[in-house]
C-alpha cells in the first residue's frame, strides 16, 4: 500500500515536471507567440485570426482572384472617395484591419512624420500565417518602409494593400489572366512618380494566410519574381525613362548611357601579394572596360614600394603614396580627390572579383538619380558563406545579416537575392557617383577604421538617396586580413565601441532604427525572425547570487554531461551596457528524464584565499532551448532545454565589485524535483574575476 502510494506520488511529480518542461519548451520554441502577447495589446484583436474583419464604410475589399483579365478597373461601382483594399484569397483579414487602414489612410501622420498636405497613394501592411488546426499564428512577414528598388525586384507588398479609387482609375488595367501580374503592374504604375511620403507602411500584422502545408518553404515565397513578371518590370522602366531589362538572374540590369569612367580606389599598404590577387581578378573578370585603378598607399616599406612599382607597370594603376597612420576614411578621400572618373568604386585589397559584369551592374544602379551607394554581395573564401549582403542598423548597432550562412538557401522572402534597398553597404565594394560622394561630404576622417562606410551611407540616406545591395554581384572577401580582427583585441574592441558611439552622435535619429528593416525583427542576431528577447538573451538580466554557509549535500555523478562554452567577461556591444560575466553551455543527466531536473550554479572562492575565508554562492541557471543538443543525443529524454545561461554583474549598484577578484570553482548542480536527489558536476575551468 505504502509502495503504491510512493509510486503514485512519483508519477504525479514527474507528470507535473514534464508539463512544466513542455510549457517552457513551447514558450522558447515559439517566440512569435510571445511577440503577439507583447505587442497586440488590444483585447479585440489579440492573437485572433479566425474571425475576419467587419465591414467598414468607405472601404471596398477586392480579392486577388477577382483581378484577372475581365476585371473592369474603370467601372468600379464605388465613390471616388472610397478606398479599395486588395487582399489575397487564401487567408483572412485581422479583425481590426479595415479600421486601421481607414484611420491610417486619412491620417496626416505618415511613417511617423506630419505631412499635412500630402495624401497617401499606397498603403501596405505586414502579414503572417494561421494554422487553423492548432489555432495559432506563425511565420510573420515584417516589411520595410517604401523601397522602390526592392519593388522592382519583386512584389514585396505581399498579400494586402490599399489604394484610393481616384488613383486606381488613372491607370490602364494590364488585362493578364494572372491576377498578380495585373496587381503588380497597377502598383508599379501608381508609384511611377510617387514621393516616399505618399507610400505608407502600416507595421501591423493585418492579414493572416491560411497555413499551406508542412513542406511549404515560407522563405522561398517571393511574389512577383520569375519570367512571368519581366514584361511589367521592363514596362515600368520604360515609362520612367530608366532603360533596362530583366536578367537571367531575375534582376534589373540598367542600360548605361554613354561610357562613363569608373575610378576603382584601392587602399593598400605593405600587401603586394594580396593586392596582386585583387588586381588579377579585376583584369580577368571585368567585362566593362572604361575604368582606372588607383592604389592609395599610406606608407609601404621601401621593398614593398618597389614591388608596387612593378605591379603598377603590369596592371596599369596609379600609385598614390602618402605616409600617414592608417585612416581608411582619409585614404578614400585622398583617392577620390585624384580620381578622373565620374563614378568611384571603393574596393578592399583583400577582395577578389567573381562576377564579370560587376561594374556593369553596379554602375547601372549607381547611375540612377535616386540611388546613393550600390554594394555587392561578399563571400568568405572557400565556399558560398555570406560575409556581406547589405548593412542593417540593428538595435545593437550596424551589422551584417546572414553572416556565415550559406548562400545556397533563400532567406526571408529573398533578402539574399535580386536588388534590395538597404540603409547601407560595405565600402569593401561600394560604387557611388563622384558628385554624390562629395555632396555627402566624403568619408568622415574622425572615423579612422570602423563604421566610416556606415556613416557615409547614413549621410546619403539623409540626403534622400537610396542605397542598394546587388545580390547578383559577388566577390570573395578575405575579411580583415589586412588589419586583423577587431573582436580578438581588447584595445581594438574599445576603439570599435567608441567609433560606434560617435556614429550615433552624428546620426542620433538613426540609433536603433533602420527604415528598411522592421523594428519587429530580431535586433541582435544574424537570422531573420521576430524580435522577442528571452531572459537568457538580455545582457541586462543578471542572476542573483545568494551566499550560503556551505554547499548543499550533493552527489558527484559522472552521469551529468556538461559542456562549458563561455565563462568570462562578456564583450560589451554598447558603451551603455553594464559589464558582466557570462557563463554559458549545456548539460544533461544521462539515461534519465531531464524534465525533472532544475539547474543550479555554485561558486566557491576566491580560491587564492585560505579555505575558511572563501565564499560559497548559489544561483539559478536560466534554461535555454538547444535544438542542436537534442538532435545530437536523440536517445536521451527531454534534452531540448539543456542549455544554461548565467550573467553575473561586474559591479553592484554602488559601483563596487560584485565579486572579489580571483578565481572561483564552478559547480553545476542538478536538483531532482521528484525526489531529494541532488547531483553535481565540478567544472575543471575556473571563473576568473579581474
pLDDT digits (tens, 9 = 90+) for 71-99: 988 887 777 678 999 999 999 999 999 99
The DSSP code sequence of 623-651 is EE--HHHHHHSTTSBS-TT-EEEEEEESB
**47-56, 111-120, 435-444, 675-684: which has the minimum mean pLDDT?**
111-120
Rounded CA-CA distance 154/141 in Å is 14
User: What pLDDT does 7 receive?
Assistant: 77
**pLDDT digit string (tens) for 373-426?**
999 999 999 999 999 999 999 999 999 999 999 999 999 999 999 999 999 999
Give phi and psi for 155, each to the nearest 5.
-85, 75
pLDDT band with cut points at 50, 70 and 90 for residue 55:
confident
Rounded CA-CA distance 8/232 in Å is 70
Q: Which three cell numbers stand for residue 57?
A: 464604410
pLDDT band with cut points at 50, 70 and 90 for residue 361:
very high
Is 338:294 a contact under the CB 8 Å cutoff? Answer: yes
The predicted model gives 245-267 an average pLDDT of 95
pLDDT over threshold 60, residue 212: yes
pLDDT over threshold 90, residue 610: yes
Rounded CA-CA distance 240/169 in Å is 19
With 0-12 / 13-18 / 19 or more C-beta atoms within 10 angstroms meaning exposed / middle / buried, residue 329 is buried
* Higher per-residue pLDDT: 213 or 479: 479
pLDDT band with cut points at 50, 70 and 90 for residue 48:
low
pLDDT band with cut points at 50, 70 and 90 for residue 112:
very low
Please enumerate in sequence order all residues whose Cβ is within 8 A of that of 538, keeping only pairs 6 or more positions apart, or say none: none
Number of neighbours of residue 132 by Cβ within 10 angstroms: 12
User: What pLDDT does 549 receive?
Assistant: 80
CA distances 523 to 292, 381, 530, 534, 656, Å, are: 40, 27, 9, 13, 31
Number of neighbours of residue 271 by Cβ within 10 angstroms: 20
**pLDDT digit string (tens) for 6-25?**
778 888 888 999 999 999 99
Is 606:661 a contact under the CB 8 Å cutoff? Answer: yes
User: What pLDDT does 113 receive?
Assistant: 47
The predicted model gives 601-630 an average pLDDT of 95
Give residue for cell 531540448. 640
The predicted model gives 451-472 an average pLDDT of 98
**472-481, 618-627, 638-647: which has the minimum mean pLDDT?**
472-481
User: For 304-401, where are the E strands, in sequence order?
Assistant: 318-321, 343-347, 351-353, 371-379, 386-388, 391-394, 397-400
CA distances 398 to 394, 401, 521, 537, Å, are: 6, 10, 14, 19
Among residues 502, 535, 585, 482, the alpha carbon closest in space to that of 34 is found at 535
* Higher per-residue pLDDT: 78 or 634: 634
Please enumerate in sequence order all residues whose Cβ is within 8 A of that of 350, keeping only pairs 6 or more positions apart, or say none: 271, 274, 278, 477, 478, 479, 480, 481, 482
- Sign for the pseudo-dihedral over CA of 338, 471, 398, 421: positive
Q: Which three cell numbers stand for residue 87?
A: 487582399
Share of the chain above pLDDT 90, in %: 80
Share of the chain above pLDDT 70, in %: 95
Number of neighbours of residue 675 by Cβ within 10 angstroms: 11
The predicted model gives 104-114 an average pLDDT of 61
User: What pLDDT does 214 receive?
Assistant: 67
User: What pLDDT does 482 receive?
Assistant: 47
pLDDT over threshold 70, residue 43: no
The predicted model gives 344-359 an average pLDDT of 97
The DSSP code sequence of 381-403 is TTS-BEEES-EEEETTEEEETTT
- Cα distance from N-terminal residue to C-terminal residue, the chain: 58
606 prior amide bond cis, ω within 30? yes
Among residues 300, 250, 249, the alpha carbon closest in space to that of 275 is found at 300
User: What pLDDT does 19 receive?
Assistant: 96
pLDDT over threshold 60, residue 239: yes
Rounded CA-CA distance 243/237 in Å is 6
Is 350:274 a contact under the CB 8 Å cutoff? Answer: yes
**pLDDT digit string (tens) for 261-283?**
999 999 999 999 999 999 999 99
pLDDT over threshold 80, residue 522: yes
**pLDDT digit string (tens) for 463-498?**
999 999 999 999 999 975 444 455 567 888 888 999
CA distances 527 to 132, 412, 515, Å, are: 27, 9, 18
Rounded CA-CA distance 101/528 in Å is 26
pTM of the model: 0.92
Exposure pattern of 23-57 as b/e (b: 16+ CB <10 Å)?
eebeebebbbbebbeeebeeeebeebbeeebeebe
* Higher per-residue pLDDT: 50 or 365: 365
Mean pLDDT of the chain: 92
pLDDT band with cut points at 50, 70 and 90 for residue 50:
low
pLDDT band with cut points at 50, 70 and 90 for residue 573:
confident
Torsion angle, alpha carbons of 648, 650, 656, 658, to 10: 30
User: What pLDDT does 481 receive?
Assistant: 46
With 0-12 / 13-18 / 19 or more C-beta atoms within 10 angstroms meaning exposed / middle / buried, residue 122 is buried
Amino acid at each position: 500500500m505504502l509502495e503504491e502510494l510512493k509510486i503514485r506520488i512519483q508519477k504525479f511529480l514527474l507528470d507535473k515536471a514534464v508539463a512544466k518542461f513542455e510549457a517552457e519548451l513551447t514558450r522558447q520554441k515559439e517566440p512569435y507567440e510571445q511577440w503577439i502577447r507583447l505587442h497586440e495589446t488590444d483585447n479585440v484583436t489579440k492573437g485572433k485570426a479566425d474571425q475576419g474583419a467587419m465591414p467598414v464604410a468607405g472601404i471596398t475589399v477586392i480579392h486577388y482572384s477577382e483581378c484577372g483579365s475581365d476585371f473592369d478597373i474603370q467601372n468600379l461601382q464605388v465613390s471616388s472617395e472610397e478606398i479599395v483594399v486588395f487582399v489575397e484569397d487564401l487567408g483572412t483579414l485581422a479583425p481590426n484591419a479595415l479600421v486601421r487602414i481607414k484611420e491610417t489612410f486619412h491620417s496626416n501622420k505618415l511613417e511617423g512624420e506630419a505631412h499635412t498636405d500630402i495624401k497617401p497613394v499606397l498603403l501596405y501592411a505586414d502579414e503572417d500565417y494561421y494554422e487553423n488546426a492548432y489555432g495559432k499564428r506563425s511565420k510573420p512577414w515584417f516589411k520595410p518602409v517604401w523601397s522602390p528598388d526592392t519593388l522592382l525586384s519583386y512584389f514585396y507588398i505581399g498579400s494586402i494593400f490599399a489604394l484610393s479609387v481616384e488613383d486606381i482609375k488613372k491607370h490602364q488595367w494590364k488585362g493578364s489572366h494572372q491576377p498578380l501580374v495585373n496587381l503588380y503592374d497597377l502598383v508599379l504604375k501608381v508609384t511611377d512618380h510617387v514621393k516616399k511620403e505618399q507610400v505608407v507602411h502600416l507595421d501591423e500584422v493585418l492579414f493572416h494566410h491560411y497555413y499551406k502545408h508542412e513542406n511549404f518553404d515560407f522563405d522561398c515565397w517571393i511574389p512577383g519574381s520569375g519570367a512571368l513578371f519581366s514584361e511589367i518590370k521592363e514596362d515600368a522602366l520604360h515609362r520612367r525613362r530608366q532603360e533596362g531589362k530583366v536578367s537571367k538572374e531575375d534582376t534589373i540590369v540598367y542600360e548605361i548611357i554613354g561610357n562613363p569612367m569608373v575610378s576603382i580606389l584601392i587602399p593598400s599598404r605593405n600587401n603586394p601579394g594580396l593586392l596582386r590577387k585583387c588586381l588579377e581578378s579585376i583584369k580577368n573578370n571585368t567585362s566593362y572596360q572604361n575604368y582606372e585603378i588607383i592604389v592609395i598607399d599610406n606608407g609601404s616599406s621601401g621593398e614593398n614600394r618597389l614591388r608596387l612599382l612593378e605591379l603598377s607597370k603590369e596592371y596599369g594603376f596609379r600609385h598614390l603614396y602618402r605616409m600617414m597612420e592608417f585612416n581608411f576614411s582619409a585614404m578614400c578621400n585622398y583617392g577620390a580627390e585624384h580620381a578622373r572618373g565620374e563614378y568611384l568604386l571603393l574596393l578592399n585589397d583583400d577582395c577578389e572579383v567573381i562576377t564579370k559584369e560587376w561594374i556593369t551592374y553596379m554602375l547601372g544602379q549607381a547611375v540612377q538619380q535616386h540611388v546613393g551607394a550600390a554594394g555587392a554581395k561578399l563571400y568568405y573564401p572557400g565556399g558560398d558563406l555570406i560575409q556581406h549582403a547589405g548593412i542593417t542598423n540593428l538595435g545593437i548597432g550596424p551589422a551584417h545579416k546572414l553572416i556565415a550562412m550559406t548562400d545556397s538557401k533563400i532567406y526571408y522572402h529573398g533578402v539574399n537575392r535580386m536588388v534590395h534597398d538597404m540603409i547601407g553597404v560595405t565600402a569593401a565594394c561600394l560604387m557611388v557617383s563622384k558628385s554624390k560622394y562629395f555632396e555627402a561630404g566624403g568619408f568622415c576622417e574622425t572615423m579612422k577604421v570602423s563604421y566610416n562606410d556606415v556613416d557615409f551611407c547614413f549621410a546619403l540616406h539623409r540626403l534622400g538617396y537610396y542605397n542598394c545591395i546587388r545580390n547578383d554581384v559577388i566577390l570573395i572577401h578575405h575579411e580583415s586580413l589586412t588589419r586583423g580582427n577587431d573582436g580578438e583585441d581588447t584595445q581594438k574592441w574599445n576603439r570599435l565601441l567608441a567609433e560606434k558611439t560617435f556614429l550615433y552622435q552624428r546620426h542620433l535619429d538613426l540609433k536603433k532604427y533602420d527604415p528598411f528593416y522592421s523594428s519587429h525583427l530580431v535586433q541582435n542576431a544574424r537570422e531573420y525572425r521576430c524580435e522577442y528577447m528571452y531572459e537568457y538573451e538580455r545582457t541586462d538580466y543578471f542572476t542573483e547570487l545568494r551566499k550560503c554557509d556551505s554547499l548543499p549535500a550533493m552527489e558527484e555523478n559522472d552521469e551529468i554531461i556538461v559542456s562549458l562554452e563561455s565563462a568570462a567577461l562578456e564583450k560589451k556591444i554598447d558603451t551603455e551596457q553594464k559589464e558582466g560575466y557570462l557563463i554559458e553551455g549545456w548539460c544533461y543527466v544521462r539515461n534519465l528524464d531531464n524534465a525533472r531536473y532544475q539547474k543550479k550554479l555554485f561558486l566557491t572562492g576566491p580560491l587564492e584565499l585560505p579555505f575558511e575565508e572563501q565564499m560559497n554562492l548559489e544561483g539559478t541557471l536560466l534554461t535555454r532551448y538547444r535544438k542542436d543538443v537534442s538532435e545530437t543525443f536523440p536517445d536521451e529524454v527531454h534534452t531540448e532545454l539543456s542549455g544554461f545561461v548565467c550573467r553575473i554583474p561586474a559591479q553592484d549598484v554602488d559601483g563596487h565589485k560584485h565579486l572579489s577578484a580571483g578565481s572561483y570553482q564552478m559547480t553545476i548542480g542538478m536538483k531532482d524535483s521528484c525526489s531529494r536527489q541532488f547531483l553535481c558536476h565540478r567544472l575543471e575551468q575556473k571563473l576568473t574575476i579581474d
